[in-house]
């Protein structure tokens, strides 16, 4: 049979050849950074619809940016949650504590005390403000930069460090990578390294809550890179179809490891705009503005509790540090990106707001930072008594076979006996 134009792969007639497109970040190492392409509206300009509104009334907000703190450090506009000074100071302290904790654990990794760590520098407002807006018994399905939620809910720092060190006091018995916490009694679902799985899990949990006639809602967090996973779309479909009482958060910090947000679709539209296609409510918020984050989560949580359905929130922020302690961001992005980020630093913005209210001072802030650093140092010293990486203080070897079945089946008993026997033969000095 003759080879026709459809089989030859050659252009037909006057049609131009097709071109394959690959997104490219605006800046690479050494480039001058210019953020003038970002559309950042004035604080207080975004309209605030009623929490029980039709979802389509929120869709203009998916391409806007909800902001509360203005250039004069004042809270303005309809999204101002009007929090009292004591609550604001509590949020500031928790954000600062989260940053102090990150700094100490980062140094611990560099000192060989743990194998791995991930900081949330520049993103503290997202986890902490959301935690303050939620009820303590609402269920959180986090990603790996939401340590601020655990800290906000009063989870002991020592327990977090024990998990990071995988020592003999680690509640998870060394079975999870460092920073992948699990705290059922604090409404904090197990962090998974398989990204985006937490989205459908959160939707399913919230559906179960609705089926039981409970009053608790669920919320979940992923990065913008993970929004390209199929699990994201599965979660959105179920949430929309079953009107799930859930708040789904995309933390758009511009970079997924070394690939920029364009590979997840940011060049076409915002991540919040995906709510439109599923027919659910959507908000896009300044992720470095703690008051705006609080207001958005409070709005979405109230909407879910009123049986008005799910909300997708995009938190527009910037990952100031590397993806993890295994990452060197200077290899793929300009060093000026973090320094020149136009939405500023979330801790400093809330600090300056409290100062502008006459409820805080630079001296008080310095004293607080010193006290928090000491608090983290003391917790670290307590945790180190239980062991650090490679120092032999860990859970007994036989525990690796436990906690899956109520009664250990015969084949696992045989494996456990063989493993323990071989370990004793290889290490005669070994003790349980």
Q: What is the pTM of this model?
A: 0.94
Whether 430 has a pLDDT exceeding 60, the answer reads: yes
Most confident of 2-16, 131-145, 415-429: 131-145
For 51-71, write each residue's pLDDT tens digit. 999 999 999 999 999 999 999
Instruction: Return all residues near 226 (Cβ < 8 A) that are at least 6 apart.
Output: 143, 195, 196, 232, 256, 264
Residue 281 has pLDDT above 70, yes or no: yes
Q: Is residue 31 part of a domain?
A: no
The percentage of residues in the chain with a pLDDT greater than 90, rounded to a whole number, is 88
Q: What is the pLDDT of residues 91-127, one digit of tens each?
A: 999 999 999 999 999 999 999 999 999 999 999 999 9
- Please list, in sequence order, all residues whose beta carbon lies within 8 angstroms of the beta carbon of residue 247, skipping any fewer than 6 positions away: 217, 218, 219, 220, 297, 300, 301, 304, 310, 311, 313
Are 369 and 412 in the same domain?
no
Compare 38 and 5 and report the one with higher pLDDT: 38
- Residue 212 and residue 286 in one domain: yes
Residue 346 confidence (pLDDT):
98
Q: Would you say residue 15 lies in a domain?
A: no
184 vs 420, which has greater pLDDT?
184
Same domain flag for 144 and 180: yes
Q: Is residue 16 part of a domain?
A: no
- Two tokens, residue 98: 């989260």
Output the domain CATH number for residue 160: 3.40.50.970
Same domain, 410 and 287: no
The model's pLDDT over 204-249, given as tens digits with 9 standing for 90+, comes to 999 999 999 999 999 999 999 999 999 999 999 999 999 999 999 9
Q: Reply yes or no on whether the pLDDT at 307 is more than 90.
A: yes
Across 27-37, average pLDDT: 95
The Cα–Cα gap between 349 and 3 comes to 67
Instruction: Write down the residue that tokens 């800046």 correspond to.
Output: 27
Q: Give the separation between CA 222 and CA 161, rounded to whole angstroms.
A: 23
Would you say residue 28 lies in a domain? no
Distances, alpha carbon 224 to alpha carbons 27, 142, 270, 274, 342, in Å: 19, 14, 10, 12, 19
Residue 122 class from Cβ within 10 Å (0-12 exposed, 13-18 middle, 19+ buried)? buried
Q: How far apart are CA 317 and CA 250, in angstroms?
A: 10
User: Domain total for the chain?
Assistant: 2
Q: Is residue 114 part of a domain?
A: yes
pLDDT tens track for 168-213: 999 999 999 999 999 999 999 999 989 999 999 999 999 999 999 9
Residue 285 has pLDDT above 90, yes or no: yes
Looking at the structure, tell me whether residues 345 and 409 fall in a common domain: no
Instruction: Specify whether 345 is located in the same domain as 414.
Output: no
How far apart (Å, rounded) are the C-alpha atoms in residues 165 and 162? 5
Does 45 map to a domain?
no
Model confidence pLDDT, tens digit, residues 321-354: 999 999 999 999 999 999 999 999 999 999 999 9
Alpha helices in 78-228 (DSSP H): 85-110, 124-133, 147-152, 157-165, 198-211
228 and 159 co-located in one domain? yes
Average pLDDT, the chain: 95
One domain for residues 292 and 419:
no
Task: Clarify whether residues 213 and 341 are in a common domain.
Answer: yes
Strand partners, 69: 75
* CA separation, residue 428 to residues 299, 394, 398, 415, 431 (Å): 61, 18, 16, 19, 8
138-142, 342-346, 404-408: the lowest-pLDDT one: 404-408
Residue 392 included in any domain: no
Quick check: is 41 in a domain?
no
Parent domain of 406? 397-426
- Asked whether residue 304 falls in the same domain as residue 366, the answer is yes
For residue 97, which of 152, 142, 170 has the smallest C-alpha distance? 152
């Amino acid at each position: 049979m003759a080879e026709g134009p459809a089989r030859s792969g050659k252009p037909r007639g006057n049609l131009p050849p097709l071109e394959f497109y690959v997104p490219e970040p605006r800046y690479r190492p050494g480039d001058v950074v210019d953020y003038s392409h970002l559309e950042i509206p004035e604080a207080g300009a975004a309209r605030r619809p009623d929490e029980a509104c039709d979802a389509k009334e929120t869709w203009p907000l998916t391409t806007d940016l909800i902001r509360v703190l203005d250039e004069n450090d004042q809270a303005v506009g309809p999204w101002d949650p009007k929090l009292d000074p004591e609550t604001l100071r509590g949020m500031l302290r928790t954000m600062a504590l989260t940053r102090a904790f990150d700094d100490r654990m980062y140094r611990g990794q560099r000192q060989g005390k743990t194998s791995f760590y991930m900081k949330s520098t520049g993103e503290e407002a997202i986890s902490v403000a959301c935690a303050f807006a939620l009820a303590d018994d609402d269920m959180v399905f986090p990603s790996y930069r939401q340590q601020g939620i655990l800290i906000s809910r009063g989870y002991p720092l020592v327990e977090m460090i024990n998990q990071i060190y995988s020592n003999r006091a680690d509640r998870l018995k060394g079975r999870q990578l460092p920073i992948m916490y699990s705290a059922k009694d604090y409404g904090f679902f197990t962090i998974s390294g398989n990204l985006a799985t937490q989205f459908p899990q959160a939707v399913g949990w919230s559906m179960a809550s609705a089926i039981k006639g409970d009053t608790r809602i669920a919320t979940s967090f992923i990065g913008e890179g993970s929004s390209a996973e199929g699990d994201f779309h599965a979660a959105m479909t179920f949430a929309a179809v079953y009107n799930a009482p859930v708040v789904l958060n995309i933390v758009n910090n511009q970079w997924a490891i070394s690939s920029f947000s364009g590979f997840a679709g940011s060049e076409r539209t915002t991540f919040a705009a995906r709510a439109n296609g599923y027919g659910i409510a959507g908000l896009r918020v300044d992720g470095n503005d703690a008051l705006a984050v609080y207001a958005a989560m409070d709005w979405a949580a109230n909407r879910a509790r009123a049986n008005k359905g799910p909300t997708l929130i995009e938190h527009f922020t910037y990952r100031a540090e590397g993806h993890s302690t295994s990452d060197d961001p200077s290899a793929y992005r300009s060093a000026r990106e973090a320094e020149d980020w136009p939405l500023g630093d979330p801790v400093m913005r809330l600090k300056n707001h409290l100062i502008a209210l006459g409820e805080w001072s630079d001296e008080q802030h310095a004293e607080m930072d010193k006290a928090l650093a000491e608090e983290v140092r003391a917790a670290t010293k307590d945790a180190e008594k239980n062991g650090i990486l490679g120092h032999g203080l860990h859970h007994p070897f036989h525990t690796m076979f436990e906690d899956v079945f109520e009664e250990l089946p015969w084949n696992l008993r045989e494996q456990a006996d063989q493993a323990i026997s071989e370990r004793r033969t290889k290490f005669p000095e070994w003790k349980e």
